[in-house]
Structure 1
């Protein structure tokens, strides 16, 4: 499955809320209305799932991983990211 184009959300200073599902069958992003669901195959141990989410989300947004900053939800399923300029 192709990664969805989320470049319309890639505005500096924007905050993006995502719901993460670790240990999924495959990596993918689903966009329904104002909700982003990110599914990653990695396990939620030691921040591995969060790293996978950042990588997948940055690719879909078309920005470098270093511009995505985790604001809230380091160990939670609901995460909030900010896009730095």
Structure 2
């Protein structure tokens, strides 16, 4: 069975939520059926298929954010929340 592409918002819509220091707060749902980034009420949530084991979900969110923002995954850094659903990422280079 082929997996569908991730549901991603427009890069500009996501980029507007990044603060002046390049930080973006994200609420993560690991182990989801589909992968998506949603923006609701100025808050970002991410759903990833990866399980929260050995940092797999964190890496999946990092890559998904990079895809949505159209930057390299190396430009997205996890600052806080390695073991929490509430995470804070820093986008090193923005659009």
> What is the alpha-carbon root mean square deviation over aligned residues?
1.8
TM value normalised by structure 1 = 0.88
TM value normalised by structure 2 = 0.80
User: Whole-Å Cα distance in 2 between the matches of residues 84 and 34 of structure 1?
Assistant: 21
Name segments (4+ residues, structure 1) moved above 4 Å. none
Q: Indicate if the aligned counterparts of 2:7 and 2:37 stay in contact, CA closer than 8 A.
A: no
- Could you say which residue in structure 1 is the equivalent of 2:38? 30
Q: Determine which structure has greater relative contact order: mean sequence separation of CA pairs < 8 Å that are 6+ residues apart, divided by chain length.
A: 1
User: Rg bigger for which structure?
Assistant: 2
- Paired residue total: 85
Gaps of 5+ in 1: none
